[in-house]
Amino acid sequence: MLYFSPDYCLVFLPLTLILFFVTRQNLGNAAAKLTLIAGSLIFYGLWNLSSIPVLLASIVVNLCIVDTLFRYQKHRRAALITGLLFNVSLLAFFKYANFAIENLNLLGLDIAPLELFLPLGISFFTFQKIALLVDVYKQRVPRPTTLNFALFVTFFPQLIAGPIVHHAEMMPQFDDPARRSFNISNFNTGIVLFCIGFIKKLLIADGMGIYANFGFSQTTIGPFDAWCTALSYTFQLYFDFSGFIDMGMGSAMMFNITLPQNFLSPYKSANIQEFWRRWHITLGRFLRDYIYIPLGGGHRRVYLNLMATFVIGGIWHGAAWTFVIWGLLHGTALCVHRAFQKARFRLPGPLGIILTFWFVVVGWVFFRATTVTEAWMVLKAMHDPHVWKSVLADPHAFIGSRRVLDAKWIPFAALCAVICFAFPNTSEIMSRYRPAYWHIPALGVGTAAAVIFAVYVNAPPPFLYFNF
Q: What does the pLDDT look like over 19-62, one tens digit per residue?
A: 999 999 999 999 999 999 999 999 988 877 888 999 999 999 99
Cβ-proximal residues to 147 (8 Å cutoff; 6+ apart), any chain: 30, 33, 34, 37
Q: What is the pLDDT of residue 451?
A: 61
What is the mean pLDDT of the segment spanning 431-437? 76
Band of residue 376 on the pLDDT scale cut at 50, 70, 90: very high
What is the mean pLDDT of the segment spanning 438-466? 63
The per-residue pLDDT for range 60-87, each reduced to its tens digit, is: 999 999 999 988 888 899 999 999 999 9
Q: What is the pLDDT of residue 458?
A: 58
Most confident of 50-64, 298-312, 342-356, 449-463: 50-64
pLDDT: is 88 or 387 the higher one?
88
Q: What is the pLDDT of residue 401?
A: 60
Q: What is the pLDDT of residue 141?
A: 87
DSSP states along 367-430:
HH-SSHHHHHHHHHHHH-HHHHHHHHH-HHHHHHT-SS--TTHHHHHHHHHHHHHTS--HHHHH
Band of residue 173 on the pLDDT scale cut at 50, 70, 90: very high
Report the share of the chain in percent with pLDDT over 70: 91
275/234 Cα distance (integer angstroms): 14
pLDDT at 284 over 70: yes
pTM here is: 0.91
Which stretch of 107-116, 327-336, 357-366 has the lowest confidence by average pLDDT?
Answer: 107-116
Q: What is the pLDDT of residue 413?
A: 94
Q: What is the pLDDT of residue 149?
A: 94
Q: Are 201 and 244 in contact (CB under 8 A)?
A: yes
- The pLDDT mean for the chain works out to 88
84/113 Cα distance (integer angstroms): 26
Q: What are phi and psi of 408, to 5 degrees?
A: -75, -30
The per-residue pLDDT for range 253-280, each reduced to its tens digit, is: 999 999 999 999 999 999 999 999 999 9
Q: What is the pLDDT of residue 285?
A: 93
Band of residue 237 on the pLDDT scale cut at 50, 70, 90: very high
The per-residue pLDDT for range 408-433, each reduced to its tens digit, is: 899 999 999 999 999 999 988 888 88
Q: What is the pLDDT of residue 75?
A: 86
pLDDT at 394 over 80: no
Write out the catalytic residue numbers.
Answer: 317
CA atoms within 13 A on the CB side of 452: 7
Q: What is the CA radius of gyration of the chain?
A: 23
> Domain extents for the chain?
6-182, 186-270+347-467
CB atoms within 10 A of CB 85: 11
Q: Are 197 and 242 in contact (CB under 8 A)?
A: yes
Q: What is the pLDDT of residue 439?
A: 61
Between the CA of residue 190 and those of 7, 243, 258, 312, what are the distances in Å? 18, 13, 10, 34
Q: Are 156 and 244 in contact (CB under 8 A)?
A: no
H/E stretch holding 453? helix 439-453
